[in-house]
Structure 1
């Protein structure tokens, strides 16, 4: 299973916030440090804030930080939020779908994938993670 770039970037932003919990981060500094387009980072921060994973403060001295403790943010939760379609194949448009034996196998694989991710939190992922040094903007 391959995750989209959208999910990859969301996880990077959350990891950056988890590793630097003592301060608010700016979209500009995280976008630069992570090599993410600023507009894309802004959309992701808004999406993650809307889901309660990030807390944002507008204006001068503003920025974002985790909206909940890293130990309460599940990796599976983030993947479910940011992945538009977790199906590994287009079974709905397949001529074999009414009686295909592969469909339950693929569904089981997705369930197993998510169950594995559900075992871990952002705090688990942050342990040992080294992120680029951010210089406040």
Structure 2
């Protein structure tokens, strides 16, 4: 199983915003810090805004900021919202399943159990857990210097 680039960038964006909690940062700053496409990030920020995880401020001095506290952001929920398809094998799809073994195959149940275990782990993680070593993460994200999880006032 491999998560999409979209999900990867979504998680990196949340880490960046968590490190700069309470600060307005621009999409360009995030793009520059990770050397990723600003166009991809604009779609991600839009979706995170729709999901209520970030707040965007338009205009010359605008930017984006976390709307929720890192401890209230479930990594499992973010991954579920970011990914389109968790059909690990063809038989997970009722519409496109052509596998003749499906009616009797025990592998399908094993894959379902593995996927549930995957999400059980991610559901137990929050953005705050991921940012638990913020001082170690910060040097890898060059722009701007984060205030390391100071609470928004």
TM-score of the aligned structures, taking structure 2 as reference length: 0.84
Shift of 1:99: 2.2
- Residues 76 and 123, structure 2, Cα contact 8 Å, conserved in 1: yes
Mapped to 2, the partners of 1:34 and 1:87 lie a distance apart of 29
1:36 aligns with 2:41: no
Unaligned runs of 5+ in 1: none
Shift of 1:135: 3.8
List structure 1 runs of 4+ shifted beyond 6 angstroms.
none
Q: Match of 1:64?
A: 64
1:117 aligns with 2:112: no
Q: Match of 2:11?
A: 11
TM-score of the aligned structures, taking structure 1 as reference length: 0.93
Mapped to 1, the partners of 2:89 and 2:43 lie a distance apart of 28
Unaligned runs of 5+ in 2: 146-153
- Residues 22 and 66, structure 2, Cα contact 8 Å, conserved in 1: no
Q: Which protein is bigger by CA-based radius of gyration?
A: 2
Aligned residues: 136
Shift of 1:109: 0.4
- Alignment RMSD, CA only? 1.4
Q: Match of 2:20?
A: 20
